[in-house]
Structure 1
Amino acid sequence: MEEIGGMIFEGAWAFLKRQYSTIGWLSIIVAVAVAALVGVLGGHRGIEGITAFGIAWRTGVAFMAGALCSAVSGFIGMIVAVKCNARCAHASQHSLKEAVNVALRGGAVPGFLIVALSLLGVAAIYFAYGGANTPDIAPHLIVGFGFGASFVALFAQLGGGIYTKAADMGADLVGKVEAGIPEDDPRNAAVIADLVGDNVGDCAGRGADLFESTAAENIGAMILGIAIYAITGNVAWILFPLVIRAFGIFASMIGILCVRIRG
């Protein structure tokens, strides 16, 4: 188990490094393009003391911050999943209860970390862009954070999904059709590539997708809260989505601790 798990981790790590290095350069290019586009379309207009250039560079920086956090989320999902695989397989030799507990808690770790990273990332860039002094303006400046997260998640899902399906079909054609080896037999080297694809596509890609989904939801809800803030003058309506998300994390923790398998 440790030997096969090590090979899967090595392959997944190599794939993600190559994939994210390419995505990183593309993110820089797109961030500059988005910032330039915002600056040009903004003309000489600003937002209450912030020039068009100020809006442009803040959008570009937010884009890169979102892209970086989304990439980190992908690495977190992949690393935890690969490390949990062998432990879950080993626990299944003892009982179903142990296997389910290991799998459930192993899946909960990246889930909590990624959602917490999304919450902290949005909150940090919100206050960094003057959320404490201008709470009705800052949410408009952090929209780039969601775009950056979505950009990385899109390529992570597509790249991982294509690799997964290609490795799966290749392993089946070479193993079952040509060599007559059973499916998922470790004697077939393509099976390792197939398992690597499962981790980089279903785990790393899903982690980045989870991050961008929560980040976009938080930012969108904060922008909607500005409308109520304009009426009531209470900043709590803008921060309400972040508070609810934080309560959701604690509620999920309680739910994980309450799960019990009989037998």
Structure 2
Amino acid sequence: MFPGAVADREAAAYAVVGAPLDASTSFRPGARFGPRRIREFGEQFDDYDHHTARHFTDLGVYDHGDIGPSADTAEYLTFLASAIAEFQRDGVVPLTLGGEHTVTVAAVRALDPDVFVCADAHLDLREEYAGDELSHATVTRHALSVADRAVVLGARTGSEAEWERASRGDVTVVPPEAVADWSPDLDGDSAYLSVDIDAVDPGFAPGTGTPEPFGVAPGELHDVVRSVAPHAVGFDVVEVNDRDDGQAATLAAKLLRAFVFAHADG
């Protein structure tokens, strides 16, 4: 159970859903351990949040446990999307723990946001990677089949074709050095917020599948989460693996808590 997620299903305002998919990781596998590690390293935090003067245990967070992957990724995403959509129908905000970034596709399909806001080192605008149309490198492209536009915060790498796709009007790329000055311009639109932990510089969060130097600072990402949360219909944090001493999982757990506090306060 995610620490502080003490609500039962009937009383939930937020639902933590583990999605330990690790099918298309292209460099360092281990994302399947992400949900477990995020829960484990979230144990240490105080219940009280001084930004909002709220207690996490008062906010109706329920932990649904993990929805384990099947051998067929497309089938798994359909099943995961169905579970997430059920929470939305009940007025519960889904909080997904990855798992590789592909699990975000299920959440976006289920929640149908106007804007996809994603913190990520990579553009993830490929049509396929290594022959896989559901690779973790295709997430933003899939999100744009649902959302009207995408904002990618902290992106610093991509193929030539991805940068060309990112130049179109429905994609905004905010480089790492500009993230601190960014603020959401949603104008009443609903957002889905996805945090790929590799958006952060790997010096702070080395436990991820495809680390990319020169990234965002943790405090800057914390500010992003708190600013987007009041507008968001759902949240995920993904691509945490077991290749560090808990730095990435600790940060992921703290960002999930920040989302809940800011969303509840908004």
TM-score category by the smaller chain?
Answer: under 0.3
TM-score (norm 2): 0.28
Structure with the higher strand share, 1 or 2: 2
Structure with the higher helix share, 1 or 2: 1
